[in-house]
Structure 1
Amino acid sequence: MKSPKKNAHIQKLLKKKTQLKSVSSKPKFKTMKRKPPPFIKRKGSAYFQHHQLSYRLPLILLVASLFILIIAIPSLIVLPQNKNNKATEPADDFTIMNEQQQEAISVAVMRTKADVVEDVSLENYIVGVVAAEMPVTFEMEALKAQAIAARTYTVNHLLTNDEDSYDITDTVQDQVYKNNDELKQLWGSAYEDNIKKIKAAVESTRGEILTYEDAPIMPAYFSMSNGYTENSEDYWEKELPYLRSVPSPWDLENPKLVNQETFTKAELEERLGITLSSDAADHITIARSDSGRVSQFTMDENTFTGREIRDKLELRSTDFSVKQANDHYIFTTKGNGHGIGMSQYGADSMAKEGKNYEDIVKHYYQGIDISTLDEAAPTLVSK
């Protein structure tokens, strides 16, 4: 017989074998770990990136499509295209309005030689005046001063002109004016450079005029003084507060300051409508204004104003003296022009010293302001 201890050990082994057999007899299944949903994956994993793109790509395409439909296409339709097919940035509406209004101002210019009226926009007319009235070789600030003076004269004339057929003439009666064709003929190969300079001066003062107590002034100007400008009432009858005599010492350095004109006794008698004695030069008396110009001229008891002598003899200025040499009379003049307002040569000299166009106009026109057309001539702009 087997011992009880040994039997117990055998039974234990049999029981364990039976348990193992029962387990091994169960169906076999391959165990797989369940993958967690994408949102618990780490962002650095390829799995996450794949699913992230799969969700985001349609959303990006949708947003891009909406942007093209709502923003891009209407912009391409609305914005004007230039020659390079590039959209141009729209300018400020207020600026566009002012420039359009200014360009709408037309100046009817009587072309004296051709006896026709030429309609020109205001700013183009000012270009033609500056080019004709002032040497293009002058400093830019002097050209700007000329532009603003010419524009002011034109606006003043447009507001007060009574003529029906034209606004202004193209002669020294008003302002000398030359159109594009005339300037091309005058300047030849230098036309492109010259017209660019003139246009730059005009454009930089676009829409600006000179005013006194909010009204456009009468901006007289002339070529060259005798060292001083003239009070308006000493040449014209009307006294204007902004046309006062001021120093213009720069003109004294001009080599063309002095000029002489010689007349025979017969020529002088014909032009003045008088009869002269053989020693008429000994019977001359001259009264002068504060600026040194002749206010009254008497010769052989025949009395004239300085302006009358200048006009009848076509002298350069009213600052003159007379000498007799046998049967000839020599008139020596200083300066060039009526002497009222701005000296053009003085303006150029001031510019060379570093003065700007505001400095120049405020020196020659006393107590004035620089205003815009909208402010000083609204009725003209609104036409």
Structure 2
Amino acid sequence: MMNKFQPLVWIVLTVFIVILVVPSILVASFSNNTKQNIVSSSKQNSVTSIDNNESKNDKNSPEPSMEVSVYRTNTKEIENIPLEEYVVGVVASEMPVTFELEALKAQSLAARTFLVKQMLSNSKINLPDGTDITDNIQYHQVYKNKKELANEWGEDYKSNISKIQKAVNATKGQILTYDEKPIDASFFSASNGYTENSEDYWGNKTPYLKSVESPWDIESPKFQYQTTIQVSRFEELLGIKLNNDVNIGMVISKSKGNRIKLFEINDKKYSGKTIRDKLKLNSSDFKFKREGSKVVITTKGNGHGVGMSQYGANGLAQEGKNYKDIVNYYYQDVTISSVEPFINKMYVKK
């Protein structure tokens, strides 16, 4: 038989349980929701961080702003130009726009590297105050601005500049390095069939500037070139007196690149480079022949021959090689690197 107090006891117990259990359920629910919110927020922050990193590595993201001060030889003025715009002006001026796109990419990589090395150099020879580089082909790189190119190309300007811009954009922010330093990215028009060891032409041995075969250069209109000079002028420039022999001088030694290292005329010896410079020849692979009051000069190749041959680059591109293949053929054991680590150093130099 149920005690009359039992219902009251059950009511009290029920109320007591409700008081204890319900707050615990609410707290647990709130805690779980809070944890979910924190996890959700953390995931969102993580995604944002990844997106930011991808943005930094995006090739289309803007490169660090850097201006180049170019001394214009003809106007004797200084033009301040964004780095990549400068590269466009060099590639358009130094390599025929009709060349393959991959060859133009290789040229843009060489031009940008040449600039960076120049800007980091302590040498200011032939460099006016307040400038980074000149447009003088003898010392630096040829450069033309877009207005000059428009005048030169006329109705073809739009298509030509678009092609050059595409090549430069493909290598944007890239330079060539050796031992983590920008290389001397020397280039020239066409070889005599071989490029030249740096030490055979300039005297300084550079590990990445070695002689290689370059058979594609035969396509150059100046692969073999003939010109004449008056005997009197020939004698004046070289400081000698010729006899009446048809054949002039004798080759003492040749380089690995088949250019003349040492040449003798009437017991006087000259380096091939000296004769090329004094007579303003296309190449140091030359032959002389006297015809009456004139000297007939035959040369093979067009340029100093050290580094990348432009006609060779185009030939490789026509065979399906890309710009990386091209630069690694003409510059041995080099690395394609980002220009960013050198930007601050260039600012300090400026």
TM-score range, shorter chain: 0.7 to 0.9
Is 1:228 the counterpart of 2:167 in the alignment?
Answer: no
Using the TM superposition, give the Cα deviation of residue 284 of structure 1 relative to its aligned residue in structure 2, in angstroms.
2.9
Q: Compare CA radii of gyration and give the structure with the larger one.
A: 1
> 1:271 Cα deviation (Å)?
1.7
Q: Percent identity between the aligned chains?
A: 49
Quote the Cα distance in structure 2 between the aligned partners of 1:308 and 1:368. Answer: 30
Q: Are 2:197 and 1:197 equivalent residues in the alignment?
A: no
Between 138-147 and 252-261, the greater mean CA deviation after superposition: 252-261
The amino acid across from 1:120 in the alignment is I
Within 2, Cα distance between the matches of 1:162 and 1:311?
A: 22
TM-score, length-normalised on structure 2?
0.79
1:1-383 → structure 2 map (5 Å cutoff): 93-95=55-57, 100-102=62-64, 104-163=65-124, 164-172=129-137, 173-279=139-245, 281=247, 283-375=249-341, 379-380=345-346
Q: Structure 1 97/331 Cα, relative in aligned 2: closer, same or farther at 3 Å?
A: closer
Q: How many residues align?
A: 294
SS at match of 2:247: helix
Retained in 2: the 8 A contact 1:226–1:257? Answer: yes
* 2:235–2:242 Cα contact (<8 Å) kept: yes
Residues 374, 381 of structure 1: 8 Å contact kept: no
Contact 2:68 2:81 in 1 (8 A): yes
Contact 1:214–1:376 (CA under 8 A) maintained in structure 2: no
1:9-68 per-position Cα deviation (integer Å, ceiling 9, x unaligned): xxxxxxxxxxxxxxxxxxxxxxxxxxxxxxxxxxxxxxxxxxxxxxxxxxxxxxxxxxxx
CA–CA separation in structure 2 for the residues paired with 1:227 and 1:97: 37
Partners of 1:256 and 1:236 lie apart in 2 by 23
Helix, strand or coil for the counterpart of 1:281? coil
Structure 2 stretches of 5 or more lacking a match? Answer: 1-50
Counterpart CA distance in 1 for 2:284 and 2:154 is 35
Question: Conserved in 2, the CA contact under 8 Å of 1:110 and 1:118?
Answer: yes
Query: How much has 1:198 moved relative to structure 2?
Result: 0.3
Inter-partner Cα distance in structure 1 for 2:200 and 2:336: 26
How far has the Cα of 1:100 moved from its partner? 4.6
Q: Within 2, Cα distance between the matches of 1:142 and 1:295?
A: 30
Q: 1:208 to 1:306 in 2, by over 3 A?
A: same
For the 8 Å contact 1:161–1:167, the answer to whether it is kept is no
What amino acid does structure 2 have at the position aligned with 1:311?
D
Higher RCO (CA-CA < 8 Å; seq separation 6+): 2
Q: Give the aligned residue type for 1:94.
A: K
Deviation at 1:325? 1.6
The answer (yes or no) to whether the contact 2:246–2:291 under 8 Å persists in 1 is no
**Which deviates more from structure 2 when the two are superposed, residues 89-98 or residues 242-251?**
89-98
Mean Cα displacement is larger for which, 260-269 or 247-256? 247-256
For residue 209 of structure 1, give the secondary structure of its aligned residue in structure 2. strand
Structure 1 pair 223–299 and aligned structure 2 pair: CA distance change class (3 A): same
Stretch deviating more after TM superposition (304-313 or 345-354): 304-313
Deviation string 1:229-277 (CA, Å, 9 cap, x unpaired) is 0000111121100000011111134453100111121010122222222
**Following the alignment from structure 1 to structure 2, what is the Cα–Cα distance between the partners of residues 280 and 299?**
13
Alignment CA distance shift 1:254-1:328 (3 Å): same
Q: Is the 8 A contact 1:232 1:238 kept in 2?
A: yes
Checking the alignment, whether the CA contact within 8 Å between 1:141 and 1:356 is kept in structure 2 is yes
The Cα offsets for residues 274-308 of structure 1, whole Å up to 9 and x where unpaired, read as 22223373543342111110111111122211111
- How far apart are 1:309 and its partner, in Å? 0.9
Greater displacement, 327-336 / 140-149: 327-336
Q: Which moved more, 1:297-306 or 1:221-230?
A: 297-306
Distance 1:176 1:253 in 2: 23
CA distance in 1, matches of 2:71, 2:53: 35
CA distance in 1, matches of 2:244, 2:61: 64
Distance in 2 separating the partners of 1:375 and 1:359: 24
**Structure 1: gaps spanning 5 or more residues:** 1-88
Kindly tell me: are residues 258 and 292 of structure 1, through their superposed partners in 2, closer, same or farther at Cα, counting changes over 3 Å?
A: same
SS of 1:189's partner is helix
